[in-house]
Amino acid sequence: MAQKVKLSTIGESLGVSTATVSLALRDSPLVAEATREKVKAHALEMGYIYNRRAASLRTSKSGILGVVVHDIMNPFYGEILRAIEMELDRSRQTFILSNHYDRVEKQRDFLETLMQLGADGVIMSPAIDTPASDMELLQKNGLPTVLIARSVPEADLPVFRGDDKFGISLATNHLISLGHKRIAMVGGTDKTSTGRDRYEGYVEAMHKAGLEVKDEWRIIGPRTKAAGFEAAGQFLALPDKPTAAVCWNDLAAIGLMSGIARAGLRPGIDVSVTGYDDLEEASIATPALTTVHNGQPEVGRLAARAMLDRIEGKQSTHGELTLIKPELHIRQSTSKVVERI
């Protein structure tokens, strides 16, 4: 279907050689920029489609990068993606997106597609339980890989993510400084590096302040607004009535606040709530959410740069963990402790 119009035809009608047309279409610096633009504009007009499949068999680069994350509808990943996109747009790399929904099989299908297409690399937030052998397969096939948001234990790859343990301690200590002594943790999972680090950070901060951590005060699971909303009933019925909730992420926190409001209590006044990520909507929520700025733009930008450097052979593909330092953004959803009756 593609390439019905021949390079020679384009050359003839512009009075340049077929070789010039070919080089111009590949943006070669051997052709003057004005000529390149003229050739490209004319080729487009004539309906010429550069056949990247054929071309990528000749050269080793396809100009395609893969990005795979848990769920692109989660704005946490969306915000990282936007930063990646801005960086790649500048280098005229096309990227292909996919969700794995934490299913290792679905992630594997996508990685195979990338290899089949001869992609130049992949930026990924690995699915829960991704085996290190899957990552080795990528390296064996010469596909540069950069991890974001989560690590894969034992995989020797560059990772860009926030310092979760430190970040959650900022939120927990803030609540403690407001006089809260009974603080629950709502949401998350132990199955990711992020989940383990955040829980540990919360427990350590509580213990350092000499406060008790009850197993019942951990509501495992919620990572979405819907789940946070549903957890409100469970939170409000917890033993010893915690006065505050450290939430896994902003989505769970915003959902929880809505559930608390539906139950007739005032989030930010009757119950203090902290989020994690500082999504764009954290500051728009009412009450505005106190949360941990998790550096999505930095993670995306750095990961994209690292990938481009690797594609250009400027950096080794081996591993190094880059932790982005989080910050606490204090807003209206946290206030001095009020005892619930």
Query: For the chain, what is the radius of gyration of the CA atoms?
Result: 25
Q: Minimal distance in Å, beta carbon 21 to a copy of itself?
A: 16
Q: Which is nearer to a copy of itself, 53 or 207 (CB)?
A: 53
Q: Which is nearer to a copy of itself, 148 or 176 (CB)?
A: 148
Q: Minimal distance in Å, beta carbon 53 to a copy of itself?
A: 5
Q: Which is nearer to a copy of itself, 109 or 129 (CB)?
A: 109
Q: Which is nearer to a copy of itself, 73 or 341 (CB)?
A: 73
Q: Minimal distance in Å, beta carbon 27 to a copy of itself?
A: 13
Q: Minimal distance in Å, beta carbon 286 to a copy of itself?
A: 4
Provide the b/e sequence for 130-166 (b: ≥16 CB within 10 Å).
beeebbeebeeeebbbbbbbbbbeebebbbbbbbbbe
- Closest Cα to residue 76, out of 327, 236, 296, 291? 296
Residue 313, number of CB atoms within 10 A of its CB:
9
Q: What are the residues binding a copy of itself (CB under 8 A)? A: 1-2, 4, 47, 49-57, 60, 62-64, 72-73, 75, 78-79, 81-82, 85, 89, 94-99, 106, 109-110, 112-113, 115-118, 137, 140-143, 225-226, 229, 255, 258-259, 261-262, 280-281, 284-286
Q: Minimal distance in Å, beta carbon 1 to a copy of itself?
A: 4
Q: Which is nearer to a copy of itself, 17 or 113 (CB)?
A: 113
Q: Which is nearer to a copy of itself, 114 or 183 (CB)?
A: 114
Q: Minimal distance in Å, beta carbon 228 to a copy of itself?
A: 8
Q: Minimal distance in Å, beta carbon 206 to a copy of itself?
A: 29
Q: Which is nearer to a copy of itself, 50 or 166 (CB)?
A: 50
